[in-house]
Structure 1
Amino acid sequence: MPFATPMGGYVDRPGPSTGTLDPLELNVVTWSAGERRLALAVADVVCVNDDLAQRAREIAGCDLWLAATHTHAGPETGCVPGGGPTPHPWLDRIAEAVGSAVREAAKAESPCDGTAHRGELHGVGGDRTDPAATPVVPLDVLAFRTDGRLTGVVVVLPIHPTVLPAVNRLVSADIPGATRTALHARLGPDVWVIVATGTAGDISTRYTRRGQDPDELSRLATLVADRCIGLLGEAPHGSWTSGDRLRLASRRLHLRREHVVVDGAALGADYARTPGDRLARSRLEGLRARTGATTPIFAEVNAARLGSLRLAALPGEPFLATGRSIDAVVLGYVNGYPGYLPTADAYRRIEYEVLASQVAPGSAEALAHTARTLLEEL
């Protein structure tokens, strides 16, 4: 990422990038069966818009799930609620990098078996609108083995990568990158590691972090990595073999635009009374994030089955409860950015995510229903 590049994720960033804390990555794993191939590409960017997903798919020449880690310390890639165009040079640069990485991954394919492991992760992420909520999230680890030897892992971590603050101007993959580093240290250089972000729309480290610096990134990533290692030693909840058939399905939905009606003056007065209240400030930020766009919002839902492994990919920023309602390993931030996708219940509380959302209540449930239907049909 070049020096002095506009950074994404925070509306109040004080300026462009000034250096690099840790390098951004694009990682790809492919599954193939006969002439069918699925590539999961995970990029350290804040979002993947429709145009980028489509361009990358055309270049890759296969079924592609292009996921953003949603790091808030990477380049601005057009992360606008409801979706928008990907700015120059990232549309071409990322799409071409994806195509190259997919081709390399396909050439390196070899027969492998795999297991899926799931458990709870405590003390790292929790509901960022509820200080009293228990900080626990589900953690998924996919293990890839060749001749019984562990060769790679995919971690799905449903936590907002916002450990580093808005004032940070150093490029970083935030907690996905720190987790990769911590796992590499434990698994060794011969085991590849991919860390994707799950359904993290309402989950962050806001009430678990002790700071917002590299040391805190390392501390939290150590907790994640240690839990991953523990899960690898436990019984799997799913598995696949090199001989299993790969089954894929996708569906594109039209989501209705709608803004919650709210008294902006009242929110401003509330913040004026409690200027140190993080939630009061975030509500005003939610109002600022609204757009007057009227273009249709489309959302692509993807599903895959391989052996007893069930995978689902949702666009934008689904809430954790949406992922939990789907019996699968669920990724967020994939193949499009409709913005925040609150649950219908969340619309009863006027918080940042609901205020910034561009879609009507029920949209998240429609996506989850579609994912469940696709998985049942496979």
Structure 2
Amino acid sequence: MAGTSEVFAGFAEIDITPSDFRKCELIGFNRLDSFARGILHPLKAQVLILKASNQTYCLVTVDTLSFSTALTDQLRDSIAEQLHGRRKDIMVCFSHTHAAPDAAANNAAYFMFAKQKIIAAVDLASQTTFPIKAAWGIAENTIGINRRSDADATDPRIGILKISNAATDETQLLLLRVTAHANVLSSDNYLISSDYFGPTRALLEETYHCKVMMTQGASGDVISKYRQENADFLEKHPLEAAKIVHDEAAKKLIFNESIEALNKNAAAIKSAVAAVYDEIEPTAIHKLSMHSGTLTFKADVPTLERAQTIAAEAAFAGIDGSDWLEEVKSLNTKGIQTQTSQREAQFLAVNNGCLCGIADEAMCETAIDIKERAQDDFIFFGGYTNGYEGYLPTAAAYDKGGYEVLWSNLIYYKYYHRVMPFNRDTADHLAKQIVQIWQRILTS
């Protein structure tokens, strides 16, 4: 609890675009060759420091698909050391752009580069604090559409936290939470980019003369409305995507479509924000806190026969599951029937609303479920928080299978440290636990 005179904020941003992009492999698509071939938009890391009495909290947003939870915890520990604080008071949210370097594998040097840059931004933000007021608002999410052919659910909310200088009432920062995959640039793209996040921030900053941060919602099954015409086809056919690199006419046409799509998404978000901007009136901050809880998720290991069926289905999407099959076979041989993971759920609470999330790529139905169970529109749940550990399907999605539920594991199981999605009832249990934690926060 804190009055407005006791709450201060500091902000800084820094460029984390790799200096030698040619050594960086991009992550997010099943490409035959993932090495970057240029830079379309710079990548940013942004830091918001919030101070109340003797407590300091830090929100970091990063333009990348994500770091693993292990790497993200390294980053959080370094930030905590810089601020003389605790890991659980540091929240890192990733945009999930599919046009950024893979921070693992051959790009370990990129993680160290980005980490050093982010620490520098933390230092700068902590030196530039000012007294603040804040308020939440909700705009209409008009860019998110469900990418699964048999579903139409989306999270209709853009969460907006408007932060103003308590001394001058001037808006200093807009923090947006938007639910739509940052893969407007599709698998034929080899240029480093912040995807639609970058153009959106730039447009809003020009409009409102303040800094803009963005976080990603539960967008595991939500893509942006505006994309190049053949994006879905190319994602399912990596050989066709690879051919475009050598076809100058096709490459130019698709590039122009992609740029137009990025700008349309940015314009749509701007219009949505404009519709509610003046109604959001910052007030004194009476609640400011971060909370962290530990959840346990389980994934059952398939039989080898079931695994062979999954691999055969994935092969039609151009996915080679041979290595994954060997891993499943090894687990079966060792008698391992279940793989268990610990997950951190983290909350940043400001007055009557919060950002909260987990490292997994949750689906929008989970965020909607949480909102409805809590009977609270101002609980903004998202994925890609403090790392990335793969898709977390709802029970309905689990039953239908497909890329998000099954086939993606054949590619990324080495990162997830499990070979299957979490069990069918996981999203339901997650929603219940998130709501319970949030209700405790509200009454504390």
Q: How does 1:182-331 map to 2 (within 5 A)?
A: 182-188=203-209, 191-205=210-224, 208-211=226-229, 212-234=257-279, 241-242=284-285, 244-258=286-300, 261=306, 263-264=309-310, 267=313, 271=316, 281=317, 285=319, 292=327, 296-327=340-371, 328-331=379-382
- The yes-or-no answer on 1:116 pairing with 2:126 is no
* Cα deviation, residue 12, structure 1: 1.4
SS at match of 1:194: strand
Paired residues of 1:255 and 1:299 also in contact (CA < 8 A): yes
* Cα deviation, residue 94, structure 1: 2.7
**1:250–1:289 distance in 2 versus 1, CA, 3 Å:** farther
Per-residue Cα deviation, 1:17-61 (whole angstroms, up to 9, x for no partner) = 111101000011122211222211011111121222221122111
Paired residues of 2:162 and 2:280 also in contact (CA < 8 A): no
Q: Distance in 2 between matches of 1:342 and 1:76?
A: 23
SS at match of 1:219: helix
SS at match of 1:256: strand
SS at match of 2:397: helix
SS at match of 2:299: coil
* Cα deviation, residue 118, structure 1: 1.0
Paired residues of 2:184 and 2:226 also in contact (CA < 8 A): no
Q: Distance in 1 between matches of 2:422 and 2:343?
A: 11
SS at match of 2:355: strand
Aligned residues: 353
* Cα deviation, residue 288, structure 1: 8.1
**1:3–1:64 distance in 2 versus 1, CA, 3 Å:** same
When the two chains are superposed, the root-mean-square deviation of aligned CA atoms in Å is 2.7
Most deviating of 154-163 and 365-374:
365-374
Paired residues of 2:27 and 2:65 also in contact (CA < 8 A): yes
Most deviating of 96-105 and 178-187:
96-105
Partner of 1:143: 162
Most deviating of 1-10 and 135-144:
135-144
Q: Distance in 2 between matches of 1:286 and 1:338?
A: 20
Q: How does 1:1-378 map to 2 (within 5 A)?
A: 1=18, 2-4=20-22, 5-12=24-31, 14-61=33-80, 62=85, 63-78=89-104, 87-122=107-142, 124-130=143-149, 133=152, 137-146=156-165, 147-188=168-209, 191-205=210-224, 208-211=226-229, 212-234=257-279, 241-242=284-285, 244-258=286-300, 261=306, 263-264=309-310, 267=313, 271=316, 281=317, 285=319, 292=327, 296-327=340-371, 328-355=379-406, 356=408, 358-378=421-441
Paired residues of 1:56 and 1:96 also in contact (CA < 8 A): no
**1:87–1:259 distance in 2 versus 1, CA, 3 Å:** farther
Per-residue Cα deviation, 1:306-327 (whole angstroms, up to 9, x for no partner) = 3222231221211111112234
* Cα deviation, residue 210, structure 1: 4.8
Q: Distance in 1 between matches of 2:125 and 2:156?
A: 31
Per-residue Cα deviation, 1:216-247 (whole angstroms, up to 9, x for no partner) = 111121111221222213357xx6524x3423
Paired residues of 2:174 and 2:212 also in contact (CA < 8 A): yes
Q: Distance in 1 between matches of 2:323 and 2:195?
A: 22
Paired residues of 1:49 and 1:337 also in contact (CA < 8 A): yes
SS at match of 1:330: strand
TM-score, length-normalised on structure 1?
0.84
Q: Distance in 2 between matches of 1:200 and 1:222?
A: 20
Most deviating of 6-15 and 142-151:
6-15
* Cα deviation, residue 351, structure 1: 1.8
Paired residues of 1:313 and 1:330 also in contact (CA < 8 A): yes
Q: Distance in 1 between matches of 2:300 and 2:320?
A: 14
Q: Distance in 2 between matches of 1:289 and 1:175?
A: 34
Larger helix share, 1 or 2:
2
Most deviating of 46-55 and 291-300:
291-300
**1:326–1:45 distance in 2 versus 1, CA, 3 Å:** same
* Cα deviation, residue 369, structure 1: 2.4
**1:347–1:222 distance in 2 versus 1, CA, 3 Å:** same
Q: Distance in 2 between matches of 1:320 and 1:287?
A: 28
Q: Distance in 2 between matches of 1:26 and 1:155?
A: 15
**1:94–1:358 distance in 2 versus 1, CA, 3 Å:** farther
